[in-house]
Copies of this chain bind each other. A is one copy, B any other.
Amino acid sequence: MSFDGATLYVSVGPNPRLVRMFLAEKGVTIPEQVIDLRGGENRRAPYLEMNPGGQMPALRLASGQVIAETVPICEYVEDVAPEPAFIGPTSEERAETRMWVRRVEQLYVRPMIDAYRYGHALALFGERMRCIPEATPELKSLARDGEAWIETNMVGPFLAGDRMSLADIIMYCMMDFAEQREVLTRDPSLVKLPEWFDRMAARPSAESSRALAY
């Protein structure tokens, strides 16, 4: 298990934070380079030449290969350093984690982040990307539906059962972001999810990964 010569490009925002929290839980250390997201450093050379998607974070390997996108970066890290497993040690557990990652992303992350980008943070993104402010209220309702569905379908202390997984890390970082940025406040009708959130927030990785503020 070696990430010699690798660099993790990070910035403010929930996506770099969730990769940092995953790395902290794995016990993997990769040197970081901070990119000025608010100043648009990620949307011009040299960053954009390295990662033409322009988003953060990205992992550059010693070979020069660049892995962008949060989940593929986490999958790569677990591929190279399998233990402790937060995707899963068996095909069946990996499948369960990946299913929960998709549920979290599709039911909660996606409408919440779209509500944020398309409307809530219009002042920040209006000049940079296509925004759809008229969709914001319905997107927030979709994210609310998603939270409720996840609460109903949680069968253990963690999203995918008895073991903490990448799905918990993503959901926690995104819920924390939604609350910090006041995209969504905590739903008072939920019970299990707030308890789970507090357990996640108490983990050292939650604090250490927060070092770069939102």
Contact = CB atoms under 8 A, between A and B. Distances in A.
A71 B135 contact: no
Interface in A1-53: 52-53
B91 A76 contact: yes
Interface string A135-156: 1001101100100010011000
Contact of A79 (B65, B91, B132): B91
B132 A65 contact: no
Interface in A72-89: 72-73, 75-76, 79-80
A127 interface: no
Interface stretch (A97-105, A183-191, A201-209): A97-105
Interface residues of A, number: 38
A58 B152 CA distance: 20
B71 A98 contact: yes
B145 A138 contact: no
A99 B99 CA distance: 17
Contacts of A135: 132, 134-135
A75 B94 contact: yes
A71 to B, nearest CB: 7
A23 to B, nearest CB: 15
Contact of A99 (B69, B95, B101, B152): B69
A37 B79 CA distance: 36
Given A132-B139, A135-B135, A142-B130, A80 B91 contact: yes
Nearest to A73: B95
A198 interface: no
Contact of A75 (B80, B98, B153): B98
10 closest residue pairs by CB, A with B = A72-B98, A79-B91, A69-B102, A135-B135, A76-B95, A67-B95, A72-B99, A132-B135, A132-B138, A134-B134
